[in-house]
């Protein structure tokens, strides 16, 4: 193992020594991470044999676990990293890969899959085979963050092309792809989704946050290229998403509840990843969009990090105000429930982003919400605003920079000598485990290194947004209704639910809600619908575009004023 830190306690060293340690790691790991990422992109990547051009494999691992697939989420985050590098002028050669990615994703959008066709929910399908064919096995579907993240990556590229006099490619090639994704987000954001980790079917903070960002960006791009007919609709739904985003905040616990279902604490890296992937330096420390330096995001970060201090043996003996290894969520048992490279890097990235925002603002604010976070670094600090010229500002930012470096140093400690980054490392001994050469791990290393250097992506329009006084969609008084129906099907046939309210498509079969067959022959989906209302609905079968309704009469329920509701039906 590469050992830049002599012991766990050595993580709490002086600023100069810590920075030197991290500087050394970044110097050696940066080219390794870049090469590792590129090795996993078809067709020429050294570890991506069989992948079509522009297709990102999650990992070359084929057993325990088998990750030799392409996920829309992972691919989009990976290519957002490359597009940021390209548009910053760091590597002009990346443009060929970016164009390959564009072509690949355009093809993948059109693949009919278990979530549906391009017009009936198929854009919510999370993963595909690396030869651009549908993965038809059982899986947690749909996952509604992929279209938002893919559109964000391509909008970043589109904005660069517009600035460099290539509007025709944007309008003719990129916009049709982007619009499909944005329309999907606009029409489906208030439906349940499997979360970032593909385990819980409810509403997800990460998904809501990136969906909101994508519609804001999409509205701006549409205006720039004259596609104004969609602008009002995107803005309306973006406002609804911003409203709904506020509901994840848990003021009592001082953290963001990652998912509305699942029965866990809700403390989850989902929230930290959402903060860094929706960072807009022009928005400062805005709390409505949970910017990295907002009081709610900083409070959440402390709760998240502290939840791992006592559950991993490798964190034993580390001071309560020093960096530790972190994982997905404290209740995790996947592959043994271990720290992840990308989640630990994400903590550092949120802190670096905060430092960048404070530097730009020339001050930082401590509120009652964020006080516990700041008191880790200065026990006597009180709520207030501290200008960059004050000693309190210097004390806090110096300590936070050292704290952030500590999380990189933790990952450095458990990085093998060759620099390869797996998905996880063992909670008791730090040995790399699970999927090898995880593409997302490499991308997370590159983005945290860039954040430490003060590099930021272009603004996406988060500055100055106000949460509307009234909200619609699933941001008003709603309840989660789980629709279950026992229905046997033939190959290629899927079950949907359609009904009398907007959340169920208003009886429009093209907007019907795809159901999951994870517990076949029971098909299930959870939808957020208006509380205290009468809803009529039916199930439909769709096969190759042909729609078959179940027999009359309509099913009917009255939703409760609060809580949840579950139906258990049998296909008629």
Q: Is 198 one of the annotated active-site residues of the chain?
A: yes
Q: Give me the DSSP letters along 432-500.
A: EESSSS-HHHHHHHHHHHHHHTT--PPP-S-TT----SS--TTSSSEEEEEEEEE----TTEEEEEEES
| 373/114 Cα distance (integer angstroms) | 44
| 347/408 Cα distance (integer angstroms) | 9
* Residues present in the chain in total: 572
Q: Is 139 annotated as belonging to a binding site? A: yes
Q: Give me the DSSP letters along 336-352.
A: GT-BBHHHHHHHHHHHH
- For 569, the token pair is 């039906």
Q: Which residues pair with 256 in a beta bridge?
A: 249
- Burial tier of 104 (Cβ tally within 10 Å: 0-12, 13-18, 19+): buried
Catalytic residue among 198, 199, 282, 550: 198
β-strand pairing of 522-530 with 516-519: antiparallel
Contact criterion met (CB below 8 Å) for 180 and 123: yes
Q: Give me the DSSP letters along 68-131.
A: -SEEHHHHHHHHHHHHHHHHTTS-TTHHHHHHHHHHHHHHHHT--BTTB-TTTTGGG--EE-TT
Catalytic residue among 100, 132, 181, 195: 195
- Pick the closest to residue 35 from 99, 91, 87, 77 (CA basis): 91
| 425/421 Cα distance (integer angstroms) | 9
Q: 496 CB contacts (<8 Å, ≥6 apart)?
A: 116, 120, 121, 509, 512, 513, 514, 515, 539, 540, 541, 542
Q: Is 105 one of the annotated active-site residues of the chain?
A: no
Question: Is 194 strand, coil or helix?
Answer: strand
Contact criterion met (CB below 8 Å) for 8 and 315: yes
Contact criterion met (CB below 8 Å) for 262 and 203: no
- Pick the closest to residue 498 from 233, 116, 110 (CA basis): 116
> How many helices and strands in the chain, by DSSP H and E?
14, 19
In the annotated binding site for substrate, the residues are: 139
Active site positions, annotated: 195, 198
In the annotated binding site, the residues are: 139
């Amino acid at each position: 193992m590469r050992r830049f830190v002599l012991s766990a306690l050595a993580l709490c060293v002086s600023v100069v020594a810590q920075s030197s340690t991290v500087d050394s790691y970044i110097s050696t790991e940066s080219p390794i991470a870049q090469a590792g990422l590129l090795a996993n992109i078809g067709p020429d990547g050294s570890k991506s044999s069989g992948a079509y051009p522009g297709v990102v494999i999650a990992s070359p691992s084929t057993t325990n676990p088998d990750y030799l697939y392409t996920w829309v989420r992972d691919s989009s985050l990976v290519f957002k990293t490359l597009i940021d590098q390209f548009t910053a002028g760091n590597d002009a050669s990346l443009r060929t890969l970016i164009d390959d990615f564009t072509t690949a994703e355009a093809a993948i959008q059109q693949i009919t899959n278990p979530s549906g066709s391009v017009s009936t929910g198929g854009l919510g399908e999370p993963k595909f085979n690396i030869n651009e064919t549908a993965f038809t096995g059982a899986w947690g579907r749909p996952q509604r963050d992929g279209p938002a993240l893919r559109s964000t990556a391509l909008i970043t590229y589109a904005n660069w092309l517009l600035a460099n006099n290539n509007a025709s490619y944007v309008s003719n090639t990129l916009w049709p792809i982007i619009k499909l994704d944005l329309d999907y987000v606009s029409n489906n954001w208030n439906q349940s989704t499997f979360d970032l980790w593909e385990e819980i079917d409810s509403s997800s903070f990460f998904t809501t946050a990136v969906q909101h960002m994508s519609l804001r960006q999409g509205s701006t791009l549409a205006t720039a290229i004259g596609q104004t007919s969609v602008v009002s609709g995107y803005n309306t739904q973006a406002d609804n998403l911003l409203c709904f985003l506020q509901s994840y905040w848990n003021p009592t616990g001082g953290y963001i509840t990652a998912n509305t279902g699942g029965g866990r604490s809700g403390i989850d890296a989902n929230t930290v990843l959402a903060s860094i992937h929706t960072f807009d330096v022009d928005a400062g420390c805005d709390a409505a969009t949970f910017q990295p330096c907002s009081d709610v995001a900083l409070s959440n970060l402390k709760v998240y990090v502290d939840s791992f201090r006592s559950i991993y043996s490798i964190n034993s003996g580390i001071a309560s105000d020093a960096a530790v290894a972190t994982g997905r969520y404290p209740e995790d048992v996947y592959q043994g429930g271990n720290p992840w490279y990308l989640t630990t890097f994400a903590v550092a990235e949120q802190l670096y982003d905060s430092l960048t925002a404070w530097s730009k603002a020339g001050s930082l604010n401590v509120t009652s919400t964020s006080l516990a976070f700041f008191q880790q670094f200065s026990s006597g600090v009180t709520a207030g605003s501290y200008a960059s010229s004050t000693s309190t500002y210097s004390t806090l930012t110096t300590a936070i920079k050292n704290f952030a470096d500590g999380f990189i140093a933790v990952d450095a400690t458990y990085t093998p000598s060759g620099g390869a980054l797996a998905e996880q490392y063992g909670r008791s001994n730090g040995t790399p485990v699970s999927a090898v050469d995880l593409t997302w791990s490499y991308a997370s290393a590159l983005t945290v290194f860039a954040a430490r250097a003060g590099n930021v992506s272009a603004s996406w329009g988060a500055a100055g947004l106000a949460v509307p006084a009234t909200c619609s969609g699933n941001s008003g008084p709603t309840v989660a209704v789980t629709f279950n129906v026992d229905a046997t099907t033939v190959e290629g046939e899927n079950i949907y639910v359609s009904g009398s309210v907007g959340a169920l498509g208003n009886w429009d079969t093209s907007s019907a809600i795809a159901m999951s067959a994870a517990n076949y022959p029971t098909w299930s989906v959870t939808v957020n619908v208006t509380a205290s209302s009468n809803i009529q609905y039916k199930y439909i079968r769709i096969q190759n575009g042909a729609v078959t309704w179940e027999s009359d009469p309509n099913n009917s329920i009255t939703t409760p004023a609060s809580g949840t509701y579950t139906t258990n039906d049998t296909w008629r």
